[in-house]
Structure 1
Amino acid sequence: MPSRRGFIAGLMASSMAPSATWADAGAPAYLSAGKDELGLFVVAGLSAAGEVLFRHSLPDRGHAASAHPTRPEAVAFARRPGRFADVIDCRTGAQLARLEPPKGHHFYGHGVFSPEGEVMYTTENAYESGEGMIGVWNARDYRRIGQFRSGGIGPHEMRLRRDAPGLVVANGGIETHPDSGRAKLNIPFMRPNLSYLSLSGEIQEQMELPADLHKNSIRHIAVRSDGTVGFAMQWQGDLGADVPIVGLHFPGETPRLMGEDDPRLRNLSGYGGSIAFSGDETQVAVTSPRGGVVQVMDCASGALLAEHALADVCGLATTRAGFLASTGTGAVARIGTQVETLATAPLAWDNHLIPLV
Structure 2
Amino acid sequence: MQNGRRSFLGGVLAAGLIPKPTWADAGAPAYLAAAATPDGSYVLCGIGDDFNIVFELPLPARGHAAAAHPIRPEAVAFARRPGTFALVIDCVSGQIKAQLHSPEGRHFYGHGAFSQDGNWLLTTENDYEAGRGRIGVWDAAQNYKRVGEFDSGGIGPHEIKRLPASDTFVVANGGIDTHPDSGRTKLNIPTMRPNLAYFKEGEIVETATIPQDMHKNSIRHIAVSAAGSVAFGMQWQGDGHPTALVGQHQLGGDVVFAQTPENALRDMEGYIGSIAYAADGKTIAVTSPRGGKVHTYDAQKMTLRDVSDLRDVCGIAPRPQGFALTAGSGDMGYLLGKRQQLNADPQHQWDNHLVAL
Per-residue CA deviation, residues 31-79 of structure 1 (Å, 9 max, x unaligned), is: 1111110122221221112222222222221100000001110000001
Shift of 1:26: 3.1
Query: Which residue in the other structure is 2:64 paired with?
Result: 63
The question of whether the paired residues in 2 share the 8 Å contact of 1:43 and 1:57 is answered with: yes
Give the alignment of 1:53-92 within 5 angstroms: 53-92=54-93
CA separation in 2, counterparts of 1:260 and 1:54?
A: 39
Give the TM-score of the pair, scaled to structure 2.
0.91
Percent identity between matched residues is 52
**2:153 pairs with 1:181:** no
CA separation in 1, counterparts of 2:257 and 2:81?
A: 27
Shift of 1:327: 0.3
Query: Which residue in the other structure is 2:267 paired with?
Result: 267
**2:115 pairs with 1:135:** no
Query: Which residue in the other structure is 2:13 paired with?
Result: none
CA separation in 2, counterparts of 1:68 and 1:235?
A: 32
The question of whether the paired residues in 1 share the 8 Å contact of 2:217 and 2:242 is answered with: no
**2:274 pairs with 1:245:** no
The question of whether the paired residues in 2 share the 8 Å contact of 1:259 and 1:265 is answered with: no
The question of whether the paired residues in 2 share the 8 Å contact of 1:242 and 1:261 is answered with: no
Relative distance call for 1:32 and 1:342 in structure 2 (3 A) is same
AA partner of residue 169 (structure 2): L
Query: Which residue in the other structure is 1:12 paired with?
Result: none
* Number of corresponding residues: 338
**Structure 2 unaligned regions, length at least 5:** 1-17
Structure 2 SS opposite 1:173: coil
**2:274 pairs with 1:278:** no
Give the alignment of 1:121-270 within 5 angstroms: 121-140=122-141, 141-162=143-164, 165-198=167-200, 200-239=201-240, 241-270=241-270
Structure 2 SS opposite 1:179: helix
The question of whether the paired residues in 2 share the 8 Å contact of 1:313 and 1:328 is answered with: yes
The question of whether the paired residues in 2 share the 8 Å contact of 1:124 and 1:134 is answered with: yes
Query: Which residue in the other structure is 1:46 paired with?
Result: 47
Shift of 1:261: 4.3
Per-residue CA deviation, residues 143-192 of structure 1 (Å, 9 max, x unaligned), is: 00100000000000000123753110000000011111111111111000
Query: Which residue in the other structure is 2:330 paired with?
Result: 330
For the aligned residues, what is the CA RMSD?
1.5
CA separation in 2, counterparts of 1:335 and 1:184?
A: 34
Greater relative contact order structure (CA < 8 Å, 6+ sep): 1
Per-residue CA deviation, residues 290-345 of structure 1 (Å, 9 max, x unaligned), is: 00010000112111110000000000000111100100011112001311114524
AA partner of residue 170 (structure 1): A
Pick the structure with greater CA Rg. Answer: 2
Structure 2 SS opposite 1:48: coil
AA partner of residue 332 (structure 2): V
The question of whether the paired residues in 2 share the 8 Å contact of 1:49 and 1:342 is answered with: no
AA partner of residue 103 (structure 1): E
CA separation in 1, counterparts of 2:356 and 2:103?
A: 28
Query: Which residue in the other structure is 1:312 paired with?
Result: 312
CA separation in 1, counterparts of 2:107 and 2:239?
A: 29
CA separation in 1, counterparts of 2:320 and 2:139?
A: 33
CA separation in 2, counterparts of 1:346 and 1:118?
A: 35
AA partner of residue 142 (structure 1): Y
CA separation in 2, counterparts of 1:242 and 1:190?
A: 15
CA separation in 2, counterparts of 1:342 and 1:93?
A: 26
The question of whether the paired residues in 2 share the 8 Å contact of 1:288 and 1:314 is answered with: yes
AA partner of residue 348 (structure 2): L
CA separation in 2, counterparts of 1:36 and 1:163?
A: 37
**Structure 1 unaligned regions, length at least 5:** 1-16
CA separation in 2, counterparts of 1:355 and 1:190?
A: 31
